[in-house]
Amino acid sequence: MIARIIAIMLASSVWGYDSAWSHYLEVTTDNTKIPGDLTDFPIALDLADIGSGHSFWTTVQTDGDDIRMTKSDGTTELPVEIVAIDTTAKTGEVHFQATGTLSGSVDTTYRLYYGNGSATRPAIDSTYGAEAVWDSDYVMIQHFTGASAANIDDSSSNDNDVSADGGTPAYDQTGKIGEAVDYDAGDYLVVSDADSLDFDYNESFTLSSWIYPEVSGSNQVIISKLTQGGTWRGWEMRFGNASDDKLSFLLVGTLSSSHYQVKSNPTISINTWTHVACVYNGSSVTMYINGSSVATTNVYNTLSTTSINAIDVHFAIRDGSGSQYDGAIDESRVSASARSANWIETTYNAINDANFVTYGAHTANAAASSFIPRIIIID
């Protein structure tokens, strides 16, 4: 009997992301803009930087629901948040977590997949959804995108959403990235009191925002969880102190006996976007302007533990009435930890520097089965 030899191609593996996604582009970070290795860092993408002529804009879903992020292998998926996208204007704001190590010594490449008309956006609380972009130390993330207070929600898992507004804040305004809210003196937003925001003098926390002040002057609140009625207590970051335009941080036990106040040496310019951050480590504070440390410390007496429960967070005003801010605020973030200098500088660079990431070409997704031939001999 003549043996019959039959070659059978057996599937062995699938490479690349799900083949239902037609294309990807590479997103590569510039390590020279990252001062040191960081873990699980959230990277901001201004989609306008992709370029209006890129085929991404004619391939991605109009609502961006098919956007997925992976590591360079094309298979290790990463959490992603699609804040906004406009395929007509060719703009958008996306954040993803660089899960693991984001290198400060070599460039790191990721893949942005798109081109699946039937894809739906991951649930915000799923493994790769919006909340997972932000590590567990983030207790509030406000992108300030939305047409009303009811549309402005916390992107962290703590649900510290905007609950109300006062005056007539201007929504849907151009921000440092995406949209922002603009305030005239007396306008404000409120986030209801929550345990996740109740920091006391012996607890580490970090406040940061992009601000665009439009009027010089003293004591204009950026973000505040401080009451000025009865016994003063709480924390606050503001533009201006006394009669200057410096960054100011205030942590109060009882105003008459103990408070902690710091202000920056350089002044902040009006009518320009500036990144500000205050990092409190439980005993001292470091202040940053545009990613650089600018701290000057003034300490008064010794703070005592004082509950700040039942105090709402306010943007652009203190406790609903005092220290009114005039200008725009964008990308306010609150962490229940003292973020490192490298973290703050990279946060600034990631949004301020259009070359923090570069975008690759519109590339066909080659995800498909690869096969290994097997030989079977039949007598």
The yes-or-no verdict on residue 283 having pLDDT over 90 is: no
Residues forming a β-bridge with 13: 370
For residues 182-198, average pLDDT: 96
What whole-number distance in Å separates Cα of residue 69 and Cα of residue 81? 10
The yes-or-no verdict on residue 49 having pLDDT over 60 is: yes
Question: Across all residues in the chain, what is the average pLDDT?
Answer: 89
What whole-number distance in Å separates Cα of residue 224 and Cα of residue 311? 9
The yes-or-no verdict on residue 293 having pLDDT over 80 is: yes
Nearest to 185 by CA among 210, 215, 162, 209: 215
Nearest to 261 by CA among 290, 292, 303: 303
For residues 141-169, average pLDDT: 98
| Higher local confidence (pLDDT), 61 or 308 | 61
Residue 53 · residue 114 · CB < 8 Å:
no
Domain range summary for the chain, segments of one domain joined by +: 13-135+354-369, 138-338
Under the banding of pLDDT at 50, 70 and 90, the label for residue 305 is low
What whole-number distance in Å separates Cα of residue 165 and Cα of residue 320? 10
**What is the percent of the chain with per-residue pLDDT over 70, rounded to a whole number?**
88
| Per-residue model confidence (pLDDT) at position 98 | 98
The yes-or-no verdict on residue 51 having pLDDT over 60 is: yes
The single-letter DSSP state of residue 102 is E
28 half-sphere exposure, CB direction, 13 A CA radius: 10
The yes-or-no verdict on residue 230 having pLDDT over 50 is: yes
What whole-number distance in Å separates Cα of residue 375 and Cα of residue 292? 65
For residues 184-194, average pLDDT: 97
What whole-number distance in Å separates Cα of residue 55 and Cα of residue 109? 20
58-90 per-position pLDDT tens digit: 999 999 999 999 999 999 999 999 999 999 999
CB proximity list for 240: less than 8 A, separation 6 or greater: 213, 216, 217, 218, 219, 220, 246, 248
For residues 311-330, average pLDDT: 94
pTM of the complete model: 0.91
| Per-residue model confidence (pLDDT) at position 163 | 98
91-122 per-position pLDDT tens digit: 999 999 999 999 999 999 999 999 999 999 99
Residue 296 · residue 285 · CB < 8 Å:
no
As a residue count, the chain comes to: 379
Nearest to 182 by CA among 315, 63, 56, 303: 315
Residue 317 · residue 325 · CB < 8 Å:
yes
- Can you name the CATH fold of 138-338? Jelly Rolls (2.60.120)
For residues 206-234, average pLDDT: 89
The yes-or-no verdict on residue 377 having pLDDT over 70 is: no
244-278 per-position pLDDT tens digit: 899 999 888 755 456 777 888 889 999 999 999 99
What is each CA distance from 156 to 47, 95, 176, 181, in whole angstroms? Answer: 22, 12, 20, 19
342-354 per-position pLDDT tens digit: 999 999 999 999 9
| Per-residue model confidence (pLDDT) at position 265 | 83
For residues 127-135, average pLDDT: 98
CB proximity list for 127: less than 8 A, separation 6 or greater: 79
What whole-number distance in Å separates Cα of residue 286 and Cα of residue 135? 21
For residues 167-196, average pLDDT: 97
What is each CA distance from 309 to 48, 97, 193, 226, 305, in whole angstroms? Answer: 41, 32, 7, 10, 12
Residue type, 254: T
